[in-house]
Structure 1
């Protein structure tokens, strides 16, 4: 009886460890895909030509880079605080898009402010992602 109990406990511990590792891998993949899509969009926006008629229309452009799909994946696997920070990061990249298409030069205060805000939002998100991975 003792042998059976020890085996069951060992199996349960192993199952929990495997499950925790799968959960961590799922989060890591979702985090990586979102950050990659967000960076791709931001970098593409940095090379966009000014076009004042496209101000406020970054949602379509950011969707083309897979940011919304990756963000929806995060919504399925991540905690609410992380999802909220991801939303703020997406919005900051949209603001950066608007600064670029509005025609602000890369040395203008508007461009620099939008770039820094996007970088800060991304940094805050990455910090939250690290915490989530450590908890898992």
Structure 2
């Protein structure tokens, strides 16, 4: 009976360890296959003005995925209709994170972007939002 319990315990431990250490294919697939995980949404024209810019940096945490939310507008920002969003990954060696629009976006007056790192890695993006100001 002790051998069965020990075998089950070891099997459970290995399953949890593999789950924690395994790469996350959904994250990599959504970011593309190049070394810099830049994301571009919409179309930028010469008449569009810079509505918002932020350079979020978050340190990595051991065996964890870190995230950061960028929200536009905040009080004091130039307000306008969003036509183009760029999220420029500053890690160009393939260790950068992903940027996804979680609410609002193109054609709207607000947007939230969710930045997510790879496991054990940090976040370093330059976020720029362009559009027509009110």
Classify the TM-score, shorter chain.
Answer: 0.3 to 0.5
Structure with higher helix content: 1
TM-score of the superposed pair, with normalisation by structure 1: 0.36
TM-score of the superposed pair, with normalisation by structure 2: 0.37
Structure with higher strand content: 2
